[in-house]
């Protein structure tokens, strides 16, 4: 069974600070996704990481993937209040028929205070 673990699950930080969210997964997978969810809203795709060593950046967010360590990180640089949200990582689930849906971590609830 594929397990996806995020930490921390809750994070309160001040504007201007840097921090990293970690995503570990239990079985081999070569694709990892990061999503953002605002309260009561849908999930918005942030990054798609398709290979070992992949690094993607968008604004103050940067995501990386190490498939050998089964680890992805989401780094926040100089946080601003608008980045307050819940962030999910998701890993491709492989079944007998090949690649299937995504297994999500429990999410990191991020609060950025002025």
Partner 1 sequence: DSGVTQTPKHLITATGQRVTLRCSPRSGDLSVYWYQQSLDQGLQFLIHYYNGEERAKGNILERFSAQQFPDLHSELNLSSLELGDSALYFCASSVSPGGGELFFGEGSRLTVL
Residue numbers at the binding site for partner 1 (CB under 8 A):
31, 33, 35, 41-45, 48, 88, 90, 92-95, 97-107
CB nearer partner 1, residue 42 or residue 69: 42
Instruction: Tell me whether residue 31 or residue 60 sits nearer to partner 1 (CB atom).
Output: 31
CB of 109 to partner 1, least distance (A): 11
Q: Which of 16, 12, 32 is nearest to 74 (CA)?
A: 32
Residue 96 C-beta: closest distance to partner 1, Å: 9
Q: Residue 114's Cα: distance from chain center in Å?
A: 23
Residue number, 81 or 106, with CB nearest to partner 1: 106
Q: How far apart are CA 22 and CA 8, in angstroms?
A: 7
Closer by beta carbon to partner 1, 30 or else 80: 30
For residue 7 the two structure tokens come to 């930490």
Sign of CA dihedral 76, 81, 82, 87: positive
**57 alpha-carbon distance from chain centroid:** 13
Query: CB 61 → partner 1: shortest distance, Å?
Result: 17
Question: Which residue is associated with the tokens 């991020």?
Answer: 110
Minimum distance between the CB of residue 42 and partner 1, rounded to whole angstroms? 5
């Amino acid at each position: 069974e594929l397990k996806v673990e995020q930490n921390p699950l809750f994070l309160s930080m001040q504007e201007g600070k840097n921090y990293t969210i970690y995503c570990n997964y239990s079985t081999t997978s070569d694709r990892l996704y990061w999503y953002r969810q605002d309260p009561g809203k849908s999930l918005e795709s942030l990054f798609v990481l398709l290979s070992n060593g992949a690094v993607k950046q968008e604004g103050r967010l940067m995501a990386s993937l190490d498939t050998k360590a089964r680890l992805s990180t989401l780094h926040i640089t100089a946080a601003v209040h608008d980045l307050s949200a819940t962030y999910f990582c998701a890993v491709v689930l492989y079944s007998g028929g090949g690649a299937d849906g995504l297994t999500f971590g429990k999410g990191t609830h991020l609060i950025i205070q002025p």
